[in-house]
Amino acid sequence: MQLRGNWNYPTAVHFGAGRIAELPEAVRTAGMRRPLLVTDSVLAKLSMVMQALNALAADGIQAALFADIRPNPVESNITAGIAAYRAGGHDGVIAFGGGSALDAGKLIAFMHGQTRPVWDFEDIGDWWTRANASAIAPIVAVPTTAGTGSEVGRAAVVTNEATHMKKIIFHPGMMPKVTICDPELTLGMPPIITVGTGMDALAHCLEAYCAPFYHPLADGIAIEGIRLVKENLARAVKGGGGDIEARAHMMAAALMGATAFQKGLGAIHALSHPVGALHDTHHGLTNGVFMPYVLAFNRTAIEEQIARLAAYLGLKASFAAFLEWVLQLRAETAVPHTLRDLKVGNENGERIAQMAPEDPTAGGNPVPLDAAAARAIFDAARAGRL
């Protein structure tokens, strides 16, 4: 089967190897003539960014580059990007990279025309309605990792340097107009990023599936996303730059995760956000560490559901079999088993326990997450106690 298609759910997705060649056309479709290409400083040095800029120039599109984005982007990255956007008289953003660059690009497109601070648009209630929607610039997204699904999402994550809190900013206008998913762009990911981002995709599907709300569409997408991770993540890691088929399936799983998590997320993300903000750990890898401990914590509420999922995955239809598979996948792909192995100490334990229930993702956890529960999961994840 050819791993290629044109999809319009949740947005227009041009999926398939080599389809980065369609970037100039996508930029025109999105109505841009002078885009700002936003990426991070590591990717800016790789040939794929220069090739994209050259392809745009050859098509008569004058794009400029902004690459002052760090992993786990901070507000000052966005402020600097907005200054570049205004100075260059741009009319849209090409968000190019992993979740960090995608989120930063989306936020620059969103915030360049707003008068309120970004923190006024946190994903709480209907705060997004405070924004001037007509001032949001169009976005074309090009993911180079397979994990966050930010390329098909209406949210972006940014760290507040003053409070050391990672905040989710939400506006429907941040959904990219066109997304190009070209798995060839992910072939050069360092193995740890392949694993970490794959764990993020898995965490999105799993938490969306377990969130206690009625959303059968999201559930269907989530379980197939988990199957794709099961069949392909270890393969993608072992195949390095060679297994384009496994990379394609992981790219699909990533965008399926973000599509599904419109339903909700849960304690994996609620804990991972403060840990990432305070310790600057990789988001997806941090999720991978927390996953079995959160599953164990939620067990009573999700046992039946997980047994159904396990059957779909070809495992014995039980919670225990699914948990065992998660542990096996983590071991096979060298995900750290404990927070200690992730180099996260105990010094912020109490603060993280206070912050986790405040994270907007906490509300989707099937068992209510208060500070005591967050502390118990944190301690279990430090000790490796299941």
Ligand X SMILES: NC(=O)c1ccc[n+]([C@@H]2O[C@H](COP(=O)([O-])OP(=O)(O)OC[C@H]3O[C@@H](n4cnc5c(N)ncnc54)[C@H](O)[C@@H]3O)[C@@H](O)[C@H]2O)c1
**Which residues of the shown chain bind ligand X in the complex (CB under 6 A)?**
40, 42-43, 71-72, 97-101, 103, 144-145, 147-148, 150, 153, 155-157, 185-186, 188-189, 193, 196-197, 200, 258, 283-284
Q: Which does 101 bind (CB under 5 to 8 A by kind): ligand X, Fe ion, none?
A: ligand X
Rounded least distance, CB 33 to ligand X, Å? 27
Site string for Fe ion, 84-103 (x = CB under 5 A): --------------------
Specify the residue, 101 or 342, whose C-beta has the smaller distance to ligand X.
Answer: 101
For the CB of residue 147, give the shortest distance to ligand X in the complex, in Å. 5
Tokens of 134: 């007509």
Q: Is 33 helix (H, G, I), strand (E, B) or coil?
A: coil
- Which of Fe ion, ligand X, none has residue 292 at its interface (CB below 5 to 8 Å by kind)? none
Give per-residue burial for 262-288: e unless 16+ CB within 10 Å, then b: bbbbbbbbbbbbbbbbbbebbbbbbbb
Out of Fe ion, ligand X, none, what residue 294 binds, judged by CB under 5 to 8 A for its kind, is none
Task: Report in angstroms how near the CB of residue 258 gets to Fe ion at its nearest.
Answer: 8
Q: How many Cβ atoms from other residues are within 10 Å of residue 2's Cβ?
A: 6
Give yes or no for a contact between 36 and 28, defined as CB atoms under 8 angstroms apart.
no
| CB of 273 or CB of 319, closer to ligand X | 273
In contact, 171 and 85? CB cutoff 8 Å:
no
186 binds, among ligand X, Fe ion, none (CB under 5 to 8 A by kind): ligand X
In whole angstroms, give the CA distance from residue 194 to residue 180: 19
Give CA–CA dist 191/240, Å, rounded.
Answer: 7
Q: Measured from the CB of residue 302, what is the shortest distance to ligand X in angstroms?
A: 21
Across the beta sheet with 139-143, the strand order is 5-7, 12-15, 178-181, 139-143, 93-97, 36-38, 64-66
- Binding site partner of 361, from ligand X, Fe ion, none, Cβ cut-off 5-8 A by kind: none
Strands (E), 85-164: 93-97, 139-143, 155-160
Kindly calculate the radius of gyration of the chain based on its CA atoms and give it in whole angstroms: 20
* DSSP summary character for residue 92: -
DSSP 158-181: EEETTTTEEEEEE-GGGS-SEEEE
Position among 40, 123, 151, 200 found at the interface with Fe ion (CB under 5 A): 200
Would you say 30 or 352 has its CB closer to Fe ion? 352
Q: Minimal distance in Å, beta carbon 99 to Fe ion?
A: 7
Q: Among ligand X, Fe ion, none, what does residue 188 contact (CB within 5–8 Å per kind)? A: ligand X
Q: Using the minimum distance from each CB to ligand X, give the nearer residue, 55 or 317.
A: 55
Retrieve residue 297's tokens: 């914590």
For residue 194 the two structure tokens come to: 């392949």
Nearer to ligand X, 176 or 292 (CB): 176
Nearest approach, Cβ of residue 317 and ligand X (Å) = 30
319 or 330: whose CB is closer to ligand X?
330
The least CB distance from residue 293 to Fe ion, in Å, is: 16
| Least Å from the CB of residue 157 to ligand X | 4
Q: Which residues bind Fe ion (CB under 5 A)?
A: 200
